[in-house]
Amino acid sequence: MPDDIMLVMRSVVIEEGAFLGLVSSAVEVYGKETAGLLIGKRKGNSYVIKYAITYQSAKRKKTEVEIDEISETRLHQTHNLISRYGRVGDYHSHIDKQESLTKCDRMTLVGDGEGVSLLVIIKKASTGKKWQYNTKDKKLLGSIGREYWISIKAYYYDHIKRKIMKVSIRCPYIRQLNRRSIAQNWVD
């Protein structure tokens, strides 16, 4: 993504396929972190994220996730061959209390310096919550049944300001999901 280096990113759009990938990947290994690749396209000053693909070979721990470089390269090369979309960034999850990027996450983001980095925070829930976008905190949040609370934040490295910035998120799919949650009676 060399031409994206100077991009001033305004927003990311998380499409249904990507939303499902992010949530299922975080829920599947709840108790440990997960990480993966974001596939999509650039549209003006936004990234449209079509898919979130888990790094299955990543070593998952409670507070960090280690990516195997050889497997990561193999996954990127494969995607370049089979997908009409490109890599637009990465994602990983945090469990329970860690609600923002760690020092190590920030160093990785500055080092990579390309694309968007999504952070998925997952916590155990006892009540159901409708999905909504919190403009002030720039986070997308809601529940999965009454089992988990999930929030999603987006970051990118601004090369001009030399700063990590939070980016606003749009996820049109949450409207459908909220209708579904009401129909299935899991929103309190």
Closest separation in Å from C-beta 3 to Zn ion: 28
Closest separation in Å from C-beta 108 to Zn ion: 9
Question: Rule CB under 5 A: is residue 90 a binding residue for Zn ion?
Answer: no
The CA-based dihedral angle spanning residues 44, 40, 103, 57, taken in that order and rounded to the nearest 10 degrees: -170
Number of residues that bind Zn ion (CB under 5 A): 2
- Binding segment for Zn ion (CB under 5 A), chosen from 16-24, 73-81, 102-110, 142-150, is 102-110
Question: Rule CB under 5 A: is residue 105 a binding residue for Zn ion?
Answer: yes
Which runs of E-coded beta strand occur in 44-147? 46-54, 59-60, 65-66, 86-95, 116-124, 132-134, 139-144
Residue 55's CB: how many other CB atoms inside 10 A?
22
* Separation of alpha carbons 32 and 26, rounded Å: 8
Which 3-62 positions form the footprint of Zn ion (CB under 5 A)?
Answer: none
- Binding segment for Zn ion (CB under 5 A), chosen from 72-80, 97-105, 131-139, 177-185, is 97-105
User: What residue ranges bind Zn ion (CB under 5 A)?
Assistant: 102, 105
